[in-house]
C-alpha cells in the first residue's frame, strides 16, 4: 500500500450543503462527473449531468427558467427529469435528447448524490447525523476546495496527531500526539472508530476562551462512515473528570465536527465541514470565532495536503510508506475504501 | 466484543499494538500494517486460546504467541 486509495463509485457523496442550493444553477463535479444542481419550485433538489447533449456545453452556464434549464450555447431546454423539451428552430425534439439524472437525497442539511449505477442507490445507506436537525444544536459550516486527492484528506483526519504540529496555534497540544489511540472496525457496517482520551492535557488556544481552563480533560472520538462521512465527537472538561453514570456532564461541554470528504477529480476534493455546539445557541460572536478558527485550521490542512499532492505526483507511486502506531486508524479507513472499491460497478 | 467488531489498542507503556478480532482471536504487533494484515487474513476458526494479559508483549512476540 504505497498511496492513499482512490475513492469508489456506487456510493453516496455529499455534493453540496443544503444552503448552497437555491433557485440558481450550481456546478459541481463529483468523482469526475460534472453535475448541475438547483432547487426546484417544489423545493426539492434537481441534479443533472452538466453537459448539453448537443455540443457538450455546460448547462450550468445557461439560465434557469420556468420551462427548465436553457443551454447558454444554442438554447436546448431541459426539464428537471433531464428530458430535452425544446430545440431552437425546429418543432421535433430528438428522442435521445436527454441528460442523465442522479439519485439525490437531501438529509440532515446536506445534499447527497449517488455516483455510479443508479439501481444500486439505497437512501437507507446514507448515515444519519441527528444533531444537525436537533433544535438544541447550532452549527457553522463551509466548504474548502482542496487540490489534493480525497485519500490524503482521509489520512489527515484519521490521524489527529498532526494537530500537535500543524495546528499548534489553534487546536494542537503535546498530548494529542502522545496519547495512545484505540481503533475499532465494524466489519458489518464498515464504520471505523478511533478513540483518544486525554485526562489531563494542555488546553489549546481555541478552547481556552470557551473553557477558561489551562488544563483540560479532552476526548476526541472519531466515527468514520466510509467513504465520505467523518464525524469527530469532542468533549472538553476539567482535568480528570468524567461524565456522571446517568450520562449527565455538567462540568463538560461537547462539540461536534463533521467533514464530508467528496472527491471532485482524481486529484481534487471538496472538503465540506460543519462545526456544531449545544451551548450558547444564539451567540453570533461565538459563531464568528468558530468560523474563523475552523477556517484557519482547514486552510492549514489544505496548504499541507496541496503540497503533498504535488509531491505524490512528482515522486510517483514507486516508494514505500512507513506507518507507525498512530496510523492504525488511518490504515483501517483505507482498508474500508479498498473494500468498497473492489465491489464497484464498471463506469458508465 | 460485539459480533463483527475488531479492536486494536496500544498496550500501555509499550509500543505494542494488541489486536482482537470479532472471532476473539488476538494478536500482538509493533507495526500496524502487520496487525491489520493478520486481522483480515487469519482463520476465524482458530481454536487456540486467547492471549493472557500481555505483561511482556515483547516476549509474546518473539515466541510467536499470536492469535
Q: Which helix (H) or strand (E) holds A259?
A: strand A253-265
Contact status, residue A284 vs residue A176, Cβ threshold 8 Å: no
Nearest CA-CA distance, residue B38 and chain A, Å = 12
Per-residue pLDDT, A318: 75
For residue B53, pLDDT beyond 80 = no
The complex scores an ipTM of: 0.85
C-alpha angle A160-A164-A165 in degrees, rounded to nearest 5: 110
The CA distance from A248 to A245, in Å, is: 7
Per-residue pLDDT, B56: 52
Residue B49, chain A, CB below 8 Å: the answer is no
β-pair type (A229-237, A253-265):
antiparallel
Question: What are B26's three cell numbers?
Answer: 488476538
Closest residue in B to A1 (Cα–Cα)? B33
Closest residue in A to B23 (Cα–Cα)? A187
Per-residue pLDDT, B39: 93
Per-residue pLDDT, A2: 54
Residue A186, chain B, CB below 8 Å: the answer is yes
CATH homologous superfamily of A129-342: Naphthalene 1,2-dioxygenase Alpha Subunit; Chain A, domain 1 (3.90.380.10)
Residues A167, A168, A174, A177: what is their CA dihedral angle, to the nearest 10 degrees?
10
Contact A335 B35 (CB under 8 A): no
DSSP strand E in chain B: where? Answer: 5-10, 17-20, 26-29
Asked whether the bond before A83 is cis by omega within 30 degrees of 0, the reply is no
Q: How confident is the model at residue B64 (pLDDT cuts 50, 70, 90)?
A: very low
Cβ-nearest to B6 among A184, A323, A324: A184
Q: How confident is the model at residue B66 (pLDDT cuts 50, 70, 90)?
A: very low
Computed on alpha carbons and rounded to an integer, the radius of gyration of chain B in Å comes to 11
Q: Which helix (H) or strand (E) holds A190?
A: none
The CA distance from A93 to A83, in Å, is: 10
For residue B60, pLDDT beyond 50 = no
For residue B49, pLDDT beyond 80 = no
The CA distance from A80 to A37, in Å, is: 10
Residues of chain A with pLDDT under 70: 1-2, 346-348
Q: How confident is the model at residue B67 (pLDDT cuts 50, 70, 90)?
A: very low
The runs of H, that is alpha helices, within chain A are 150-158, 163-166, 174-178, 205-211, 284-315, 328-342
Per-residue pLDDT, B59: 46
The domain locations on chain A are: 22-102, 129-342
Per-residue pLDDT, B46: 62
CATH class of A22-102: mainly beta
Nearest CA-CA distance, residue A187 and chain B, Å = 5
Closest CA to A235 of A249, A246, A214: A249
Taking contacts as CB-CB distances below 8 angstroms, the residues of chain B near A185 are: 5-6
Burial (CB count within 10 angstroms: exposed 0-12, middle 13-18, buried 19+), residue B44: exposed
Amino acid at each position: 500500500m504505497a498511496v492513499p486509495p482512490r475513492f469508489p463509485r456506487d456510493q453516496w457523496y455529499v455534493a453540496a450543503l443544503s444552503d448552497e442550493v437555491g433557485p440558481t444553477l450550481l456546478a459541481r463535479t463529483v468523482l469526475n462527473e460534472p453535475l448541475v444542481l438547483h432547487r426546484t419550485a417544489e423545493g426539492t433538489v434537481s441534479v443533472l449531468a452538466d453537459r448539453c447533449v448537443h455540443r457538450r456545453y455546460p448547462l450550468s452556464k445557461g439560465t434557469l427558467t420556468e420551462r427548465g434549464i436553457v443551454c447558454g450555447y444554442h438554447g436546448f431546454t431541459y426539464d428537471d427529469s433531464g428530458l430535452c423539451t425544446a430545440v431552437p428552430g425546429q418543432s421535433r425534439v430528438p428522442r435521445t435528447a436527454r441528460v442523465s439524472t442522479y439519485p439525490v437525497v437531501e438529509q440532515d442539511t446536506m445534499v447527497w448524490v449517488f455516483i455510479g449505477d443508479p439501481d444500486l442507490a439505497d437512501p437507507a445507506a446514507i448515515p444519519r447525523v441527528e444533531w444537525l436537525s436537533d433544535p438544541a444544536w447550532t452549527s457553522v459550516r463551509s466548504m474548502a476546495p482542496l487540490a489534493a486527492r480525497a485519500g490524503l484528506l482521509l489520512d489527515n483526519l484519521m490521524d489527529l496527531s498532526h494537530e500537535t504540529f500543524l495546528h499548534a496555534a489553534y487546536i494542537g497540544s503535546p498530548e494529542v500526539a502522545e496519547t495512545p489511540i484505540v481503533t475499532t472496525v465494524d466489519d458489518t457496517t464498515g464504520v471505523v472508530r478511533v478513540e483518544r482520551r486525554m485526562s489531563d492535557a494542555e488546553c489549546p488556544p481555541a478552547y481556552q476562551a470557551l473553557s477558561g481552563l489551562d488544563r483540560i480533560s479532552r476526548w476526541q472520538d472519531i466515527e468514520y462512515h466510509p467513504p465520505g462521512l467523518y464525524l469527530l465527537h469532542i468533549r472538553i472538561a476539567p482535568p480528570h473528570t468524567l461524565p456522571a453514570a446517568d450520562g449527565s456532564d455538567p462540568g463538560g461541554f461537547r462539540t461536534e465536527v463533521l467533514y464530508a470528504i467528496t472527491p471532485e477529480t482524481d486529484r481534487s476534493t471538496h472538503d465540506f465541514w460543519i462545526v456544531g455546539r449545544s451551548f450558547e445557541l444564539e451567540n453570533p460572536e461565538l459563531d464568528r470565532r468558530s468560523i474563523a478558527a475552523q477556517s484557519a485550521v482547514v486552510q492549514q490542512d489544505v496548504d499541507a495536503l496541496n503540497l503533498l499532492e504535488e509531491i505524490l505526483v512528482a515522486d510517483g507511486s514507486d516508494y514505500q510508506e512507513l506507518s507507525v502506531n498512530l496510523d492504525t486508524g488511518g490504515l483501517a479507513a483505507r482498508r474500508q475504501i479498498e473494500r468498497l472499491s473492489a465491489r464497484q460497478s464498471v463506469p458508465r | 466484543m460485539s459480533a463483527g467488531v475488531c479492536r486494536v489498542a496500544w498496550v500501555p507503556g509499550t509500543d505494542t499494538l494488541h489486536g482482537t478480532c470479532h472471532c476473539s482471536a488476538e494478536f500482538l504487533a509493533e507495526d500496524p500494517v502487520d496487525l491489520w494484515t493478520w486481522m483480515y487474513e487469519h482463520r476465524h476458526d482458530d481454536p487456540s486460546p486467547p492471549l493472557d494479559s500481555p505483561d511482556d508483549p515483547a516476549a509474546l512476540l518473539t515466541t510467536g504467541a499470536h492469535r
